[in-house]
Amino acid sequence: MNIATIGIVSISSIISPTQLDLGTNALVQAGYRVKVAPNVAGPEVAPAAERARILERFWLDPEIDMLLFSRGGEGADEVVPLLDWDALRARPDLPVVGFSDVTILLNAMLAKGVGHPISGPMLSYAGRLTPEARDWFRRVMSGAPLPPMSLDVLRAADGGEVSGFPMGGHATRLHWLWKQGLAPSAAGRIVFIECTARHKAPDVIAGLREMADGGFFDGASAVILCDFRHTGEERAALDAFFPSFAASLTCSVFAGFPYGHVPGIRALDFRRKVAISADGVMR
């Protein structure tokens, strides 16, 4: 990807001025020009319609080569239904980078066939990414080879190696998108799922079970359970649930990929195919 200018945008919560300065300074020092949307740092979250129009304006700005979200939080569910998708089709290959609450936008992009969704670290992670995560992100953005990664095998479907293009993200945001009828099909794709501890384990479990029973995962090549930030009894409840969840699906199920709200987050290019061997080696 040939990226000279990065647009910093938000459809969710605001970022602090300190985080904004830290992130933009890091990008400038790396050699990029930066344009920052007026609603990124507040002082208050802008109305949903205003956030939608600002995102559209930055998306269609010919000087901007990539959109990078400042942070997640909440609010994407208010904005995505308001977007003018026909207008956004004018730039069908624009890289759009984010995760967490931005899960809603990235997967809606897949469903609409608009833009180039990349689920990965946002501006607020500029000062806390591990060296391995930074290197992985650079490789994703440049198209360079990525190192293989070993996953835990929870369920190995018949047929050996599985492959497909990625999709997915935050569990509760995927659930919301699916309930609204806005989610892309998982058929032939590898679905990556993560979640923060802010969302209680019983609610996460209920949502995943409902999606499985309702056919969301039908036809998926594989599901990968990534980083769930829960601890204590909630973590134990999730660990007890995952085997039965894996058994309820017809595809292969893996765990252990470092994707989620962690400094070691590995970016996922939704246009870059993934292959996983029967013993869990992902390439």
**Tokens 């994707």, residue?**
259
Give CA angle at 241 (238, 244), nearest 5°: 155
Residue with tokens 């790396």: 30
Residue bearing tokens 């909630």: 234
What's the length of the chain?
283
**How far from 83 is each of 74, 108, 117, 126, CA to CA, in Å?**
17, 11, 16, 28
Please give the radius of gyration of the chain, using alpha carbons only, rounded to the nearest integer: 18
Domains of the chain, earliest start first: 5-128 (3.40.50.10740), 149-282 (3.50.30.60)
Q: What pLDDT is stored for residue 127 in this prediction? A: 87
Cβ neighbours of residue 151 under 8 Å, at least 6 residues apart? 224, 254, 255, 256, 257, 276, 280, 281, 282
pLDDT for the residue 148: 97
- Write down the pTM of the prediction: 0.96
Q: Walk along the chain (283 residues) and give the pLDDT tens digit of each residue.
A: 789 999 999 999 999 999 999 999 999 998 999 999 999 998 899 999 999 999 999 999 999 999 999 999 999 999 999 999 999 999 999 999 999 999 999 999 999 999 999 999 999 999 899 999 999 999 999 999 999 999 999 999 877 899 999 999 999 999 999 999 999 999 999 999 999 999 999 999 999 999 999 999 999 999 999 999 999 999 999 999 999 999 999 999 999 999 999 999 999 999 999 999 999 999 9
90 backbone dihedrals φ, ψ, rounded to 5°: -65, -25
Please report the pLDDT score of residue 2 as a whole number.
87
User: What pairs with residue 269 in β-bridges?
Assistant: 118
In the numeric block, the tokens 């609409």 are attached to 112
